[in-house]
Structure 1
Amino acid sequence: MSHLIIDAHIHLDWYDKRKREQILNELDRYHIKGLITVSSDFTSSSHNLQLAKNHRRVYAAAGFHPEQQLLTRVNLNEIFSFIDEHKDDLIAIGEVGLPYYLRQEDASLSLKPYIELLEEFIKRAATYQKPIVLHAIYEDAEMACDLLEKHKVQKAHFHWFKGNSATINRLKQNGYYVSVTPDCLYKERTRQLIQLFPLELLMVETDGPWEFNQTEWTHPRMIHDSVKTISEIKKLSIETVYNQLLANTIKFYQLSTTE
């Protein structure tokens, strides 16, 4: 566990203060080079940006998590104004996407306004040349790809990706990145994704504080087990996998290599 790694997708602002401080205080102990903290709304975006300003190895993205009811136009414009004002301080736009799980709970939910909202975020990613972090599950990934291609956005990161082989091939052809969570230790679908997706387009994440283990809260140290699993599935040395995953994340998010 002496190799450096980056947690490419975490909701740092969702942790309670005690756990968040523990994570930040233990970055060196667990060889965590950085945390990409994504946001769920305006308040979340503001909080994460402040965390990034206070901690040099925290990098903030701003966005609106799609698995929630849409906000009023005034509230949404507040998020867009925040992105416009702080574009130079934000590492990416995200987490944004489409409400797959919300639609499972409410089949009457209209997808059209969410698609329109996602396109607005994608336009800003194109305008500001920022990476975009996507929550687009199963067939929703195809709709996200349509919009990304329409606006010629190349730096797309599909987190917690789940999709069929055709969608996997489309992501690969477009050079989009995916990140895998600690569920790769036991979820066959995630293990298959690792097998099929090129190492050069993979990153690792926790999506914390999402819980993977009922007896252990989610901490970035858990991604070291994910790296080991990727190494085993890919049949590559652990050092090769660590180096490639770290290089991928640094390249995608244009991070400094000296911190």
Structure 2
Amino acid sequence: MFDAHIHLDWYQPNQQKIIMDTLEVDGMIAVSSDLKSCEKVWQLYNQYPKVFPAFGWHPEQPLPTSQEIAQIETLIHKHHDQIVAIGEVGLPFYKRKEEPNLRLQPYIVILERFMILAAQYDLPIVLHAVYDDAVTVCDLLAKHGVKRAHFHWFKGDAATVQRMIESNYMISVTPDCVYEKEIQDLIGSYPMELMMVETDGPWPFEGTFQGKMTHPNMINDVIRKIAGIKELPLQQVVEQVEQNTKKFYRLEKHI
């Protein structure tokens, strides 16, 4: 199994323990959040065979300098054969809720720069795009001809979900599916062949996970919940999700 979205570089001081203590997990898609994060993820990739790197800039933060984005782009140009995706990138939905007057256009410009690179190198793009922002992002994906899109921890209305399904966009499900009805409903409506699992660690979870450090092994709980909702044998879900992740990220050439 694969954790399709994790911020490995954010784990301090438990980073090595997290990576080494994953006997049930075959690999982790390690996304980046800024320039320093890209550099740390690259180091982890060179140290641990289970780490598959993605370079990007997370949108839920103040705008970066043009120099920082240019340096991330340089890293993508240099390592496009080794990284498995561009991400995490997207639009600042939650930041705009806190700052209603925040201008969205500069974030769109940055996102489009990453989409252009995704199209240029035929790389998947890992997206932070929920609710209304997902509509904008779907338009931008179509504009730039990006086919392989992964909406991580997605939340949105039925019309957007249907549009994403028709476009063959992937989603990934987090441990909150165990207790969040909104995510359970999404699992019920989304095709198994377009679904992956993730932790988004070290983001903490509630319910049975309250007070626990988010660990890649938690994807076992996600798999079990998906199997229950879909009324499918557990092993069938395990195999389908593994196949989905390998195919989407073309992991065979990196393993």
Please confirm whether the aligned pair reaches a TM-score higher than 0.5, indicating the same fold: yes
Q: Distance in 2 between matches of 1:246 and 1:175?
A: 17
Aligned equivalent of 1:27? 22
Q: Does 1:83 align with 2:79?
A: no
Q: Distance in 1 between matches of 2:142 and 2:9?
A: 31
Deviation at 1:76, TM superposition (A): 1.5
Aligned equivalent of 1:159? 152
Deviation at 1:57, TM superposition (A): 1.2
Cα RMSD (Å) of the superposition? 1.1
Deviation at 1:258, TM superposition (A): 9.5
Q: Distance in 2 between matches of 1:24 and 1:257?
A: 21
Aligned equivalent of 2:172? 179
Q: Distance in 1 between matches of 2:254 and 2:44?
A: 20
Q: Distance in 2 between matches of 1:95 and 1:40?
A: 6
SS where residue 206 of structure 1 aligns? coil
Deviation at 1:234, TM superposition (A): 0.1
Q: Distance in 1 between matches of 2:8 and 2:132?
A: 28
Which aligned pairs between 1:215-230 and structure 2 lie closer than 5 A? 215-230=211-226
SS where residue 97 of structure 2 aligns? helix
Task: Give identity over the alignment, percent.
Answer: 48
Deviations 1:84-116 (Å, cap 9, x if unpaired)? Answer: 111112110000000000000101100001011
Q: Does 1:59 align with 2:52?
A: yes
Letter in structure 2 aligned against 1:10 = I
Which aligned pairs between 1:120-131 and structure 2 lie closer than 5 A? 120-131=113-124
Q: How many residues align?
A: 252
- Structure 1: runs of 5+ lacking an equivalent: none
Contact persistence 2:195–2:244 (CA under 8 A): yes
SS where residue 59 of structure 2 aligns? coil
Contact persistence 1:250–1:257 (CA under 8 A): no
Contact persistence 2:82–2:254 (CA under 8 A): no
Q: Give runs of ≥4 in structure 1 deviating > 6 Å.
A: none
Q: Distance in 2 between matches of 1:50 and 1:111?
A: 32
Deviation at 1:49, TM superposition (A): 1.1
Deviation at 1:142, TM superposition (A): 0.7
Letter in structure 2 aligned against 1:184 = C
- Structure 2: runs of 5+ lacking an equivalent: none
SS where residue 86 of structure 2 aligns? strand
SS where residue 96 of structure 1 aligns? strand
Letter in structure 1 aligned against 2:201 = G
Q: TM-score, normalised by structure 2?
A: 0.97
Q: Distance in 1 between matches of 2:156 and 2:236?
A: 27
Q: Distance in 1 between matches of 2:254 and 2:132?
A: 39
Q: Does 1:253 align with 2:246?
A: no
